Amino acid sequence: MKTAVCTLYEGSYHLGVGALINSLIANGFRGDVYVGFRGALPTWFKGEKVIVEGMDVGFLMTTKTEISIYLIQLDTHVHFTNYKPQYLLDLIQGPCKDYAALFYFDPDIVVCRNWNYFDDWMQYGVAVVHEIVTNDMPVTHPLRRKWEQIIMDEGLQVHHKMHSYVNAGFCGVKREYKSFVPLWKQLLEVGQNQFRADTTKFMTQSRPFPFLSADQDSFNMALMAFDLPISEVGPEGMGFKNGVVAMAHAVGKSKPWNKSFWVSFLKGSPPSFADKMFWNYVTGELVLYSKASIQIKRAVIRITSFLGRFYRRN
């Protein structure tokens, strides 16, 4: 049975998508990739227009390793971070309905571990990774108590007593656990309709608002309320700390493809692990930059990483 990976992008994030796909291929993924997008096609895309079941305008590119990359043009005013559960649901009910599993990755993530690791991981439940920020969130935390109240008001029950806050930039859903996706969508809509969370924005209001990050807070609520298994990995799963690193997540406003590493170094911030991993995967089946640009950028990363041993912000 096939496995699919999906992501969403607009603007310069097409570079992140290209690096993600290169990293998937390099680490042994052999399946289909679905990319929802707004705006222009990526510069690396070389394909043709096709019909994608149940979706809007689509395009198809096939790599040398026979991975099919479907680009789906989306028409929505919702911020893409809050569009994730709807997008996943459209895929599960449409072109991916017969797939064994569907994985979602944010477009600023690259895979760092062999795909067999992910295939094994998803067998144990919905695969998720802890945040590094506010990671420690025990069952008695007031925000989690508020989420419990929201869950019960929806006629649902809390099935998982969780102790950590989870990052919504990744999830792996086996077909047997696909009911997680509409549950996530349901709770996100509670935030939008009952709490007036503005889903056209990345974040709204401030804590203790229970839908500050509408997609991620509803994602955590859905994990609590899900009546089937989940499988949690700590922050090391996204490269936020040392350990068994499965992927590198370039969080924050400054992304590896638009960051000035010299400016960042002078401010006391040498290249991060995610920065290095992105530039490691700009080469591959998808051509993202010229050879000269890659050589120059990698040299700058090596130099600023070395200097960063002696000069960095505390």
CA distances from 33 to 23, 116, 201, 206, 224 (A): 12, 17, 26, 35, 29
> CA-CA distance, 74 to 57, in Å (whole number)?
8
Q: Which among 77, 79, 96, 76 is positioned nearest to 6, based on CA atoms?
A: 96
Residues 6+ apart with CB under 8 A from 167: 128, 129, 130, 131, 216, 238, 249
Contact in structure between 67 and 33 (CB atoms under 8 Å)? yes
At position 244, the amino acid (one-letter code) is V
Question: For the CA atoms of the chain, what is the radius of gyration?
Answer: 19
- With 0-12 / 13-18 / 19 or more C-beta atoms within 10 angstroms meaning exposed / middle / buried, residue 188 is buried
The pair phi, psi for residue 58, each rounded to 5°, is: -130, 160
Residues comprising the chain, all counted: 314
Task: Give residue 223's Cα distance to chain centre.
Answer: 16
pTM: 0.96
- Domains of the chain as residue ranges with CATH: 3-238 (3.90.550.10), 251-307 (no CATH)
The pair phi, psi for residue 28, each rounded to 5°, is: 90, 10
Please give the chain's pLDDT, 314 residues, in tens. Answer: 689 999 999 999 999 999 999 999 999 999 999 999 999 999 999 999 888 887 777 899 999 888 999 999 999 999 999 999 999 999 999 999 999 999 999 999 999 999 999 999 999 999 999 999 889 999 999 999 999 999 999 999 999 999 999 999 999 999 999 999 999 999 999 999 999 999 999 887 888 999 999 999 999 999 999 999 999 999 999 999 999 999 999 998 899 999 999 999 999 999 999 999 999 999 999 999 999 999 999 999 999 999 999 888 76
Q: Give the per-residue SS3 of 213-242.
A: CHHHHHHHHHHHHCCCCEEEECHHHHCCCC
